[in-house]
């Protein structure tokens, strides 16, 4: 039996919908993939990158409050987020497309 993604602390219906769009259909699958691979798949399936969304996912998988991330831990997560974003979201865009995307002009492929 599959457990809904929204059964994980801090993750609600919006994350469940985004995960389904990325082919992640259960809490078990999300846990097996881990935060980084899950977030990469979310970005590749059209989710807009947002650092808070990433660290909420990390905290959720650790069963911690979403806002528990602070200091050096948060700085380290920001580096991981930036790497995932560069590899999964910005990939394949020209410099012009990247600049236009930053202001919301480029349509997602």
Q: How far apart are the first and last CA of the chain?
A: 34
Q: Residue 58 half-sphere exposure, CB side, CA atoms within 13 Å?
A: 19
Residue 109: pLDDT over 60: no
Which residue matches tokens 């993939």? Answer: 33
Tens of pLDDT along 37-91? 999 999 999 898 999 999 999 999 999 999 998 999 999 999 999 999 988 876 6
What pTM does this model have?
0.80
**Between 21 and 101, the higher pLDDT residue:** 21
Residue 106: pLDDT over 60: no
Domains along the chain with CATH numbers: 5-102 (1.10.150.20)
- Looking at residue 97, its pLDDT comes to 66
> Long-range contacts of range 89-94, CB-CB < 8 Å, 24 or more positions apart?
89/43, 89/44, 89/49
Find the Cα–Cα–Cα–Cα dihedral 75, 13, 32, 88, rounded to 10°. -50
- Looking at residue 1, its pLDDT comes to 82
Q: Is 10 helix (H, G, I), strand (E, B) or coil?
A: coil
**Between 77 and 100, the higher pLDDT residue:** 77
Tens of pLDDT along 7-49? 999 999 999 999 999 999 999 999 999 999 999 999 999 898 9
Residues 6+ apart with CB under 8 A from 8: 27, 30, 31, 60, 61
Q: What's 11's DSSP letter?
A: -
């Amino acid at each position: 039996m599959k457990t809904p993604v929204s059964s994980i602390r801090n993750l609600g219906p919006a994350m469940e919908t985004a995960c389904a769009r990325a082919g992640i259909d259960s809490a078990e699958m999300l846990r097996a993939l881990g935060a980084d691979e899950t977030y990469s798949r979310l970005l590749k399936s059209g989710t807009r990158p947002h650092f808070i969304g990433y660290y909420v996912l990390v905290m959720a998988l650790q069963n911690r409050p979403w806002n528990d991330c602070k200091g050096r831990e948060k700085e380290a997560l920001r580096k991981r987020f930036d790497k995932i974003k560069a590899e999964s979201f910005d990939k394949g865009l020209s410099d012009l497309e990247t600049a236009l995307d930053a202001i919301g002009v480029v349509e997602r492929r």
